[in-house]
Amino acid sequence: MKTDVLILGGGLAGLSTAHHLGREGVSSRLLVEAKERFGGTAGSEVHRGFTFDYTGHLLHLHDPGGRALIEDLLRGNLAVHERRAWIYSRGVHTRYPFQAYTHGLAPAVVLDCVAGFLETLHRPKTPPAREDFLSWSRATFGEGITRHFMRPYNEKLWRVPLSRLTTEWQGRFVPKPSPAEVIAGALPGADARLGYNTTFRYPVHGGIQALPDALAARLEPGVARAGARVKRVDLRAKAAEIEGLGEVRYERLVNTLPLVDFLDVAEGLPADARAASRRLRWNTVWNLNLGVARAGVSDKHWVYYPEKRFPFYRVGFSSNFSSALAPAGHSAIYTEVSRPGGARVDASALERQILRGLREAGVLRPRDEIVVKAWMPVRVGYVVYDFARAPALRAIFARLAELGVESIGRYGAWKYSFMEETILDGRACARRLAQGAPPPGAAAERLEALS
Ligand SMILES: Cc1cc2nc3c(=O)[nH]c(=O)nc-3n(C[C@H](O)[C@H](O)[C@H](O)COP(=O)(O)OP(=O)(O)OC[C@H]3O[C@@H](n4cnc5c(N)ncnc54)[C@H](O)[C@@H]3O)c2cc1C
């Protein structure tokens, strides 16, 4: 087989690239996806009447173009929700984000957090040459907020000491409140609409799978092949070996597989890039989904659990995003546990710990009947932003650019991003390809875009 553009992976990045290439007039393109369905991490699975996503997949739309496209794709199937996100610690629920809402915690904890935050305002603002996440959190939020939430929560999520993490990723994901917000959030009647992403969108029917399905439906027949795993790519000969299709020759290659997996199957890459790939770290999200025979298990959308006594860092109630995700009279719950990538995990022991934790947190009642348990781990869940990441990526992307290879999406570009951005990455890549432009390579702007 021959194609102008070969796209590896049929998640949102790959589907968006294929879709936008078509709109740019590039009809010769082939997308290959290993699984039998498209969508990747933004897909859903149906288990005995419950629809589960790979944990919560909520649409936060920031870009006018991204928003218009997603609203068009999901026309008639998109509901807007006012976020009900909470934190559970020391036996109380407080509103998310913790740094802006401490009301309800013990007065000593509130004082610790608010006074610590106010103290940061008087410190000289001279960021060190190499700032790690822990120092940044102390300097930005103060000792109290760092001790009571930022440190325990992020250690649970990232599974590395926070002094080894950079601050490249936090800008968009860890909002900084104003002093007025911190003080208001410590008082009764805190306004839940303060700040950040207070609404989100979610499909009414079909779980988040509705989004990749809508994108895939826009492709001409034969452009996207499911059940077609890439086994080997010769980057110099521009030929890939694909399960079920045999050899596919291409002019340009777009990778959306996790970068580490792609480099494992890629041949013809210089040794420095291969060595750099071994320095990349990630975590696995062990996602256990539960179907419970009780309606309205919670009135919340999701809850963060910073304390060590709970194995999960977050639990969500997806039937509160869409009642279609669970049969009548039932609730759908997702739990998220993080472990370093490659770590061995005893899933049945972890399942027992999760169920015990849910009872201890008051989510499950002793007599609750669990009708479905479905593990849906995300092997490469979050890429770890440690100090080795940026130099390693620089080396890898410089070599891939020399070979004319695009590597995009959350995992192809090895970054922390979300669905709208992933779709836009595919659009930008399609435009470069249509214009015959080279991949962005290792330029500084590229690394900025990666963070
Ligand atoms: C726990 C978690 C929660 C998230 N929550 C949100 C959220 O609330 N809101 C939001 O906007 N975003 C969220 N995201 C991010 C969102 O999932 C991603 O931005 C998006 O799905 C990434 O798409 P992608 O195409 O880059 O990667 P993927 O979806 O991973 O696509 C890669 C594809 O490559 C395929 N593949 C792998 N190996 C091969 C092979 N050898 N041959 C062929 N195909 C192969 C895979 O099967 C997969 O389909 C979350 C992510 C995680 C992990």
pTM of the predicted structure, to 2 decimals: 0.95
User: Which atom in ligand 1 lies closest to the alpha carbon of residue 243?
Assistant: 42
Average of per-residue pLDDT across 159-181: 85
Residue pair 414/280 in contact (Cβ under 8 Å)? The answer is yes
State the distance from the centre of ligand 1 to the C-alpha of 42, rounded, in angstroms. Answer: 6
Q: What is the pLDDT of residue 441?
A: 66
Both tokens of 215, joined, read 């994108």
Cα–Cα nearest to 147, from 172, 123, 176, 116 = 116
Residue nearest to atom 5 of ligand 1 (CA): 57
* Cα distance between residue 218 and residue 222, in whole Å: 12
Residue pair 213/203 in contact (Cβ under 8 Å)? The answer is no
State the distance from the centre of ligand 1 to the C-alpha of 81, rounded, in angstroms. Answer: 23
State the distance from the centre of ligand 1 to the C-alpha of 216, rounded, in angstroms. Answer: 15
State the distance from the centre of ligand 1 to the C-alpha of 250, rounded, in angstroms. Answer: 24
Mutation test residue for ligand 1: of 81, 200, 213, 257, the one with most atoms within 8 Å of CB = 257
- Ordered domains of the chain (ranges, CATH): 2-42+58-79+205-280+385-450 (3.50.50.60), 101-185 (1.10.3110), 282-383 (3.90.660.20)
User: Which atom in ligand 1 lies closest to the alpha carbon of residue 417?
Assistant: 19
Q: What is the pLDDT of residue 446?
A: 53
CA pseudo-torsion sign 137, 141, 147, 152: negative
The angle subtended at Cα 293 by Cα 292 and Cα 295, nearest 5°, is 90
Phi/psi at 46 (nearest 5 deg)? -105, 125
State the distance from the centre of ligand 1 to the C-alpha of 422, rounded, in angstroms. Answer: 9
Give the tens place of pLDDT for each residue, 246-292. 999 999 999 999 999 999 999 999 999 999 999 999 999 999 999 99
Give the tens place of pLDDT for each residue, 383-395. 999 999 999 999 9
Strands 224-225 and 29-32: parallel
Q: What is the pLDDT of residue 286?
A: 98
User: Which atom in ligand 1 lies closest to the alpha carbon of residue 413?
Assistant: 26
Mutation test residue for ligand 1: of 55, 419, 450, the one with most atoms within 8 Å of CB = 419
Evaluate: CB of 257 within 6 angstroms of ligand 1: yes
> Which residue do the tokens 């959306």 mark?
256
Evaluate: CB of 378 within 6 angstroms of ligand 1: yes
Residue nearest to atom 13 of ligand 1 (CA): 418
Evaluate: CB of 297 within 6 angstroms of ligand 1: no
Evaluate: CB of 419 within 6 angstroms of ligand 1: yes
Evaluate: CB of 8 within 6 angstroms of ligand 1: yes
State the distance from the centre of ligand 1 to the C-alpha of 41, rounded, in angstroms. Answer: 3
Give the tens place of pLDDT for each residue, 303-356. 999 999 999 999 999 999 999 999 999 999 999 999 999 999 999 999 999 999
- With 80 as the cut, is the pLDDT of residue 361 above it? yes
* Cα distance between residue 227 and residue 185, in whole Å: 50
